[in-house]
Structure formats: C-alpha cells, structure tokens
Structure 1
Amino acid sequence: MKKQFAYIKAGLLSLGVIFAATSCSDYLDKSEESDISATEPFKDFTNFQGFVEPLYNNIPLFDKGYWTNSFNWGDDEVTSANINYHMVYKIDQGDFWGWQSEFDGWGTGWLDRKDFQPRERDRFKKGLWPCAWWGIRQCNMGLENLDLLTDATTEQRKAIEGQLLFFRGWFHFMLMQYFGGLPYIDEVMNANGQLTRPRLSYHECADKAAADLRRAADLLPIDWDKTSISVITNGNNQRRINKVMALAYLGKNYLWAASPLMNRESTGATTYNKEYAQKAADALGELLNLVETGQTQYELVDYANIADVFYSYGQNGRMPGSTEVIFRGPEWDPWQNTRYGL
C-alpha cells in the first residue's frame, strides 16, 4: 500500500502549499524567496498526482465502515437479533433520518460521519456524504488548474484528467443512488456564495455523470503498469483508476437510470427505459469485449481457484476477489483485510 500511494507525500506537500498561500501573511516574518506559488501543486505530473491521491483515500468502505455494518438496505434480511442501531434496522422502524451522523449515536452507518477527516487513514471517519462533496470539489479544483500542467507528457496529462473526471462522475453517481437527482457540481463553487444550483432529475444527473465517465474511459489506460507513467509505483497499480473501471461505472450508471424506479422519477413511466438500457448494454459490451479478447488484467477465476474469490480464514489477511475484482478502495488496517467486521 505504501508503494501504491507513493505520491501521497507530494499531495500533502501540495495541499500544505495551498493552505499556506491563503493563510495570514504576517504571522511570521519571512523572506520573499520563501513564498511558494499556489500553482506549485499543478506544475508537473508528480506534484499533480500528489494532489489527486487523496481522492483514493476518500473511497468509503461500504461493507466495513464500522466494527460491524449493514450495506444491503433493500432486502428483508435479519442483521442480528440484538442489533437495533444499524441503518437497516432504522429503515424498518421508519427512522429515515438515521443515516445522518447527528441521529446516529453509534456511528455505525457509512453514509455520513460527523468527524470526517479527508486525509486520515481511518475507516471510521469516511462517510460517503462528506467524502463525496469534498472529493467533487477536489476534482473541480484539479480540472480548473489542468492548464498549469505544463511539465508533463501527453500520457501523464491524460491520466491526471481521466482520474479527476472519473472521481467527479463516481462521487455524483454514488450519491444519486441514495438521494436521487442532485445539483451536478462541475465547477469550484464559492463557499460564501449562494447555493442556487437547481436539483436535476435522476436522468439529467445520470447524463452528466455519464459524460464524465465516458471521457475518463477515453483518457485512461487499461493497465498503469504497461505505461510510462508508473515508474515509481510499477507492480502496485491494481487500484489505480483505469479505462475498465470507468467503463464499468458508465454501464452501471446507465443501467440504474434505466430502472423502473429511476425512470418513474424522471419521466413518470413505471417501465424500464429502453434508451438507457441500450446505453448500458453498449458500455458494458465494450468492457466485456476488452476482457474477453485478453486486453485487460481481469478475468473470471478458474474453478480450481474459486476460493480466492471469497473472504478466507488463516490466509494472512488475503484480500478476496483475485482477478475478478475491478474496483476497490484502500484498506486501512489488517482487521479489514479479513472476514472480521462483515
């Protein structure tokens, strides 16, 4: 993990530069040459990738955000005979505000966190709601400063832009699943200004997310290890955002938009939306063609090794999934590499 996120040090330095540049200038006497430009985080690939890295750190653990968790809210399963503080129980009781941290005393949900810390490696402080809005702003800051990336190859520039577009589309899509259509934030907004963006329908929001994910898929490589941009992290790029991940979420985004639930919210019709279903088939078909023609690092696990797909016991915390896993966030401690906490 340390190798995989080798750019994080540069990211923290870059963010520190931004904060320093906007802090009180007369706090300490300093020489002019000690000032560092606020454009420093964006000047070359290493610095800019360091700015991007914290986005990975803000992918919540939907299945292991607490010692125990509930992530399947659409089923009639029994979580436990004695657990009455998980969100799945609160929904059964009609407590639909229970996802918010101020109404969740135990902090057991993954949807919100009152003590959210974007740069800490702590799964207990990663809620989707704060992570998403912080991440969307980070993406917009990066995209609006992309022209400052002058010391970079074309391949490096595409990788930076592709990651930012993916995360902006992904964070919006993840929020849409639980809150429906939202204002789609595609610019750095003034925190002191009026928030007057209209709430979009689900389909309108899905179209904007799709545009970001499609563009990301066109920019990103399939395998970072086979590019010239991964010298530092070669061999440790399994979780870096790539073309396959962007296509997968592009298809999923369209598939959800095609559902009767989302179609009804947007058009009033209670049937599947054939137009969005076709778009989902096209995106996922493009992905499957890449996999089946051997152009990716992903494939179905042979039956002889099928145990590798599942959580295990006594395997030194081996991560499940093998070559079938396309997208996953970081793991922050050994307990979460195993079946504990599920």
Structure 2
Amino acid sequence: MKTINQLTWKACLLVLSAGLLFTSTGCNKFLDTERQGAYDEENYPYPGGSGPYDQFIFGAYNDLRSFNLHSQSFITAVSIRSDDADKGSTPADGGANALTMDNFPVLPSNGFLNTIWLGNYSLVTKCNSTIKEVNTNATIVAPEQIKQQTLGEARFLRAYAYFNLVRYFGSVPLIDSLFSDPAAQNNVPQSSAAQLYAFIESDLTFAAANLPLTWDAKFAGRVTRGAANGLLAKVYLTQKKWAAAQAAAQAVMASGVYDLSTPYDKIFREEGENSRESIFEVQATASAAIPSANGVQYAQIQGTRGAGDWDRGWGWNTPSVQLEAAYEAGDPRKNRTIMYTSTATTTYQTIYGETIPVGLPNPRYNGKVATNPSIRSAIGNRFGYWMNVRLLRYADVVLMFAEAANEVGGTANIEAARVALNSVRARARAGNNSVLPDVTTTDQELLRQAIRQERRVELAMEHDRFWDIVRWGIAQDVLQAAGKTNFSNSRDVLLPIPQTQIDLSAGVLKQNPGY
C-alpha cells in the first residue's frame, strides 16, 4: 500500500512529462520526501532497471489517470451500459448524455463519446511520441535492452488504447506515428476492426517479448510481461481465437508472479493495491499537501452522494437489482461488492465498520471503491483520488483460461477449465465450505454457463460485463430483460463515432450503422 505522506514514481512522472530538464544535481528530492521511484542525487540520471526514456513514457502513464480515460465517460460506457449497474445519483444528474448511456440509444452528439475518443487518442499520441524518441533521438545513449523495454511499454499502452477504441467504436483511424501537422490526424480514414486487431496483437506480442516479468518495487504499476500476455488473452478471447487465448492466459499463470492468495475482501482496499492479484492497475496517490492532482477521479464518481462525511462523491454507477440477484446464496463477494444504504428497519455498515445512514439517494453503491476512513482523515479529503483502478486481475486471467480451454474442448481441456474455475471459487469462499461448492460438471455447455456466471460475480462492477455479453452474443436478451428495452443488437454493441470527430474530419470518418 502507498503510505499517506508519500508520492509514488507516478507523481514524479508529472514533473518529467512536463518536459523539465534536470542537471546532474538531480530532482532535489521533490517536496523533500522519499518517494517511490523518484529521481534524486543518488540515482539520477535514472534508477537501475529504468532508463533515460522515462521522461517520455511517463507522459503516457500519466494519461492513464486522466479524466478523459478512466473517469466519468469510462464508467458510463463500460459499466452503466451493462446490466451490472444503473446510472444512480438523482434522476436528472448527468442529463441526456448519462441517461442515454444507461437506457440507449446513445446519440452521436453525446459529449461522453468525444471524451472517450480524446482520452484514448491522447494515450496513443503519447505512446507514438515515446516510440519516436527511442527510435530517432540520437542525443540519448542507452543499452539496447532499455530501448526495447521502453518500446514494449509504449506498445503495450498503445495496444490498450486501441483495444478500447475498437470495442467502443469498431472501425477507427489507426495512427502509428506522429504527424508534422497535428491537424492532419483528423483526416485519417478508418481502419477495419480486423486491421485494428492485427495491429493490437502485434503490439502486445512485441511487449510480451520485451517487458520484464517484474519491476523493482519502486516502480509498482509499470507494465510487465504478464500484463502483455493477459491483455493479449483478452484480445484473442474477444475474437474467439480460443487456442491462442488459452496459451496467452497460460503464460501468465505459469509465470509464478501472480496467484489467488490475496483475499477477495482485501483486493479492493488501499492495502490490496499492487498485490499478487494485480496485473495491470492504474496508479493513483494523494497526500495532505496534494489531495487530488496526482490521483484519479474514478472513486469519487462512484462514492456516496450524501451530506457531511457521507458526501463522498457523485453516487453514480450503482449496482443493479439484476447483479444483486446473480450471486449464489452465501457468496461473500456480494457484500464486498454491494454496499447498502441503511433503512428504517435495517442498519448496514461499510467494510470499515462505519454505519451507513438512512436516506442516501440510492439503495446500493459500489462497495469496491469504499475508502478507508483513517486515510480520508490523514489526507483531509473524502473523495478517494488515491484509489488505484484495477484494470486486469489474475482471477480474470484464470477465468479467461477456463473459458478458452472449455471452448477448445476435449477431455483434458475441459477438465483444466473446470479446475481453473474452481480455483477462483475456492478463493471466494474464504474457507467456508458450506458455500460455493466446486463445479463438478464435465459437460461443455453446462461448464460454459458456469464460467460465464463466475465472471459475472467475480468481476462485478469491474469494467468487463458489457464486453462479455456482447462477445457472447447475448447482449440484447440480457439488457432488455434488465429493463434496458431500447437496446438493439444491430446498433448498440458499438457506440456512434462522435459527431465532433466526423465534423473535424470533413466527412472522412463514417458513422456506424443505425446512427
């Protein structure tokens, strides 16, 4: 866990990515604190295992915390659009932009779309800039291994951005270099989804070959070989490339770096950040002196909307009744995921023992963003900017392996899928053998449904549900059953291309069908 009075190397990246040049005297221990990964007199020009290209790649990492990438629009697009969650807050909060993300159709003029577009393409640009510096900046001397490692980081983050974009919008412009005239970027025609997926696979394959298995602890959060293989497994799974997905997931599982030893209750606490469960996690930090500038607004948007100490956020992204009903009896993950507002007859508490008041606007909130009261007090801030965003967990990879192995089929693969599935259930039951019994079926279709159900509850409120039901081909049935009756499979599996971007392209960009 990050200590309260420290900034991690990600805070240092804010200074580096701003383009400041340091002399041989170093960073003078910014703010006179001993921060993880900070450059100082002892380790400048760069710490062991890192490199002189940090001043460029840190700009890309910094974008992961931007409002445009992992805050309001992200939450609405990946969670509120699904049957996991409702918009929450008050009925009018967010206006038509938010309401149509919840109930469809999303219009091309929706402001959230342009935010998503800009956030992901900003990350692409930062990655392309880093790649250019590594490949062409002759003033920087570095070992070849450091060059390839930095290229691996940049290409991983670029692949992540394009994986987002192709799932959000389908066909989008593929931009793999910088333009001398940035405005010319607006006139690049769209590449097909097949072309985009081939590009993503190439970037991630390169990253997996050139990234380290682990980093020094001072660099917690920098992407690894496991992150590249884990994301590659998800890219393959999305395309139904089952054998390739199984192999990529197996590479993560065989690495020895990750496991299911972190209790489910602990994963989402501040103390559970960057645990052996964590594969790709957006790093955020805060201190009493800097309570928000080095963080991400992800937790605040989902925090309780109340009065006084219970004014912890906007109250968006509230767990749905459909999610509430999805858990098996006694599954401990339900109470860890869903935080209930107290009623006149029932008192509920947070995971930290705080009594939740009666009268909050919504009956349920996302318990996975609940913050530690001692940390709120020490920082003097209620809004959780210091909470990391978990983008890829080990349990997700294990369940991807299970799904892919089951789809490949054959007795050995189906058995391997069943064992992997049961390992996730075993961690979830936390030693209570009266709940979540092992799945015993070896029937491929029954196991398929069991794996899908396990993804639903294990990864609830964690950005995967919408993509899962789309790739399984069940989105229309599921969402209409959840009351989102305007959803149409022929239109709403993709968001519309933002009208702002079509206008900037002078019509080069073409709108998605149905809009």
TM interval, shorter chain, is 0.5 to 0.7
Asked which structure has the greater CA Rg, the reply is 2
Whether the 8 Å CA contact 1:247–1:287 is kept in 2: the answer is yes
Give the TM-score, by structure 2 length: 0.43
Instruction: Please name the residue that 1:262 is paired with.
Output: none
Q: State the secondary structure of the residue aligned to 2:19.
A: helix
Give distance in 2, aligned partners of 1:81 and 1:319. 28
* CA positional deviation for 1:65: 2.2
More RCO (CA 8 Å, sep 6+) = 2
Question: What residue identity is the alignment partner of 1:308?
Answer: K
Instruction: Please name the residue that 1:339 is paired with.
Output: 370
Give the 3 Å change call, closer, same or farther, for CA 13–62 of structure 1 in structure 2. closer
Q: State the secondary structure of the residue aligned to 1:280.
A: helix
Question: What residue identity is the alignment partner of 2:128?
Answer: N
* CA positional deviation for 1:205: 0.9
Matched, 1:301 2:332: no
Q: State the secondary structure of the residue aligned to 1:13.
A: coil
CA RMSD of aligned residues (A): 3.5
Whether the 8 Å CA contact 1:299–1:324 is kept in 2: the answer is yes
Q: State the secondary structure of the residue aligned to 2:280.
A: coil
Give the 3 Å change call, closer, same or farther, for CA 310–137 of structure 1 in structure 2. closer
Structure 2, unmatched stretches of 5+, are: 1-5, 23-49, 292-296, 301-368, 372-382, 384-460, 462-515
Work out which of the residue numbers 103, 106, 131 in structure 2 matches 1:96: 106
**Cα deviation per residue 1:139-188 (whole Å; 9 max; x = unaligned)?**
22222232326511233212211111111111111111110132221121
Question: What residue identity is the alignment partner of 1:131?
Answer: G
**Cα deviation per residue 1:264-312 (whole Å; 9 max; x = unaligned)?**
xxxxxxxxxxxx222222222222221xxx2x2x21125xx4421244x
**Cα deviation per residue 1:190-209 (whole Å; 9 max; x = unaligned)?**
32437554422222211111
Work out which of the residue numbers 107, 118, 128 in structure 2 matches 1:130: 118
Give the 3 Å change call, closer, same or farther, for CA 13–188 of structure 1 in structure 2. closer
Give the 3 Å change call, closer, same or farther, for CA 81–217 of structure 1 in structure 2. closer
Whether the 8 Å CA contact 2:56–2:129 is kept in 1: the answer is no
Matched, 1:51 2:56: yes
Give distance in 1, aligned partners of 2:185 and 2:161. 22
Give distance in 2, aligned partners of 1:253 and 1:94. 26
Whether the 8 Å CA contact 1:90–1:98 is kept in 2: the answer is no
Work out which of the residue numbers 254, 261, 282 in structure 2 matches 1:289: 254
Matched, 1:211 2:202: yes
Instruction: Please name the residue that 1:65 is paired with.
Output: 71
Question: What residue identity is the alignment partner of 2:201?
Answer: A
Relative to total residues, which structure has the larger strand share, 1 or 2? 2
Q: Percent identity?
A: 20
Structure-to-structure mapping, 1:141-160, within 5 angstroms: 141-147=129-135, 148=137, 150-160=140-150
Q: State the secondary structure of the residue aligned to 2:147.
A: helix
Whether the 8 Å CA contact 1:162–1:216 is kept in 2: the answer is yes
**Cα deviation per residue 1:207-240 (whole Å; 9 max; x = unaligned)?**
1111001101111101112xxxxxxxxx222200
Give distance in 2, aligned partners of 1:179 and 1:15. 39
* CA positional deviation for 1:53: 0.3
Give distance in 1, aligned partners of 2:14 and 2:125. 18
Q: State the secondary structure of the residue aligned to 1:247.
A: helix
**Cα deviation per residue 1:44-89 (whole Å; 9 max; x = unaligned)?**
x7542111101111115799725x9544122174443833445663
| Count of matched residue positions in the alignment of Structure 1 and Structure 2 | 254
Give distance in 1, aligned partners of 2:70 and 2:246. 31
Q: State the secondary structure of the residue aligned to 2:177.
A: coil
Q: State the secondary structure of the residue aligned to 1:159.
A: helix
Instruction: Please name the residue that 1:11 is paired with.
Output: 17
Q: State the secondary structure of the residue aligned to 2:59.
A: helix
Structure-to-structure mapping, 1:1-342, within 5 angstroms: 2-5=7-10, 6-13=12-19, 46-60=51-65, 65-66=71-72, 70=76, 71-72=78-79, 73-75=81-83, 77-80=85-88, 82-85=90-93, 89-97=99-107, 100-101=110-111, 112-113=114-115, 128-147=116-135, 148=137, 150-189=140-179, 190-193=181-184, 195-225=186-216, 235-258=217-240, 276-290=241-255, 294=256, 296=257, 298-301=258-261, 305-311=263-269, 317-319=270-272, 322-333=275-286, 336=299, 338-339=369-370
Q: 135-144 or 331-340, which moves further after superposition? A: 331-340
Give the TM-score, by structure 1 length: 0.63
Q: 53-62 or 161-170, which moves further after superposition? A: 53-62
Question: What residue identity is the alignment partner of 2:120?
Answer: A
* CA positional deviation for 1:98: 7.5
Give the 3 Å change call, closer, same or farther, for CA 200–98 of structure 1 in structure 2. closer
Give the 3 Å change call, closer, same or farther, for CA 79–88 of structure 1 in structure 2. same
Give distance in 1, aligned partners of 2:61 and 2:222. 8
Question: What residue identity is the alignment partner of 1:255?
Answer: L
Whether the 8 Å CA contact 1:135–1:168 is kept in 2: the answer is yes
Give the 3 Å change call, closer, same or farther, for CA 14–221 of structure 1 in structure 2. same
Whether the 8 Å CA contact 1:300–1:324 is kept in 2: the answer is yes
Give the 3 Å change call, closer, same or farther, for CA 80–250 of structure 1 in structure 2. same
Whether the 8 Å CA contact 2:13–2:59 is kept in 1: the answer is no
Instruction: Please name the residue that 2:340 is paired with.
Output: none
Give distance in 2, aligned partners of 1:151 and 1:205. 33
Q: State the secondary structure of the residue aligned to 2:194.
A: helix
Structure 1, unmatched stretches of 5+, are: 17-44, 102-108, 114-127, 226-234, 259-275, 312-316
